[in-house]
Structure 1
Amino acid sequence: MPHLHQLRVYYEDTDMAGIVYYANYLKFIERGRSEWVREIGVDQNALKEQHGLVFAVRRVEADYLSPGRMDDILIVETRLSEIGGARFVMDQKVLCDSRVLFTARVTVAVMNLEGRPQRLPADIRALMTSAEKD
């Protein structure tokens, strides 16, 4: 079941044409992933402090399909697509009403504080896997 995060488009999110500036979709989907991680019970601050691990975006494949505009209410839909030893992949969409404005496939790496790949801890893997079954 996908995680849904709602947000509003503000003036600061738009370009001179009055549409959502393309880079802001990356911010919107980051919020969606952060809220998904928080909702499933992963505290990223504790992950860093207790385990010395962080999540870092490694790759983004994005498609811009339709413009969002100021005052639109957007829904960021996030779902886990794949999970590997030291990475996971999220499929995300940004919608306005029923229109899909933006889609992305985001590969997230698990790294230590020195920037080296690390295995995803078993308890966090279990939380992620369980969340997708609900």
Structure 2
Amino acid sequence: MHSHSIRVYYEDTDLAGIVYYANYLKFIERARSEFLREIGVDQVALKRDAGVVFAVRRVEIDYVAPAVFDDLLIVATTVTHIGGARVTLQQNVLRGADVLVRSVVTIAALQENGRPARMPQNLRIAMAKAGE
């Protein structure tokens, strides 16, 4: 499991003072980018050298409880499935031990022309190790 800290800023909140629902998508996106960086994936080099980019294929999200200004959140990312061209991640947003948001995100590997691409073997291995 990978953990990424996020501080809630005023700009993340709505008129009610809680995190605007769409901002959780930004939070989990940042955590995915940091997860890839931590397991040694350079997305710029992956595009340049293998012609592979990632795109979100599907997101399921369940808003359990609100976060508010100045909360320190943790986005916990766990690999749940690795295929040839797709990976599925469980990404939970927590405040302490409390789960605020549960999400399941499917990421697709694509060629630059938008067609599916097989993920390089070393990338699948790195993700599998991170998921252990």
Instruction: Give TM class, smaller chain.
Output: over 0.9
Distance 1:4 1:85 in 2: 25
What residue in structure 1 maps to residue 88 of structure 2? 89
Task: List structure 1 runs of 4+ shifted beyond 4 angstroms.
Answer: none
TM-score (norm 1): 0.97
Match of 1:29 in 2: 28
For 1:36, give the aligned amino acid. F
Measure, in 1, the Cα distance between the counterparts of 2:10 and 2:66: 14
**1:122 matched residue in structure 2:** 121
Distance apart, 1:99 and its partner CA:
1.1
Whole-Å Cα distance in 2 between the matches of residues 9 and 16 of structure 1? 14
Partner of 1:104: 103
Gaps of 5+ in 2: none
Compute the displacement of 1:130 (Å): 1.4
Distance in 1 between the 2:53 and 2:91 partners?
20
Superposed CA deviations along residues 53-78 of structure 1, whole A, max 9, x for unmatched, are: 10100000000000000000000000
The CA deviation at 1:98 is 1.3
The aligned amino acid for 1:66 is A
Q: Which ranges in structure 1 are unaligned for 5 or more consecutive residues? A: none
Shift of 1:90: 0.3
| 1:65-84 alignment runs, 5 A limit | 65-84=64-83
Taking the aligned partners of 1:115 and 1:44, their CA distance within structure 2 comes to 16
TM-score under structure 2 normalisation?
A: 0.98
- 1:3 partner letter: H
Cα RMSD (Å) of the superposition?
0.6
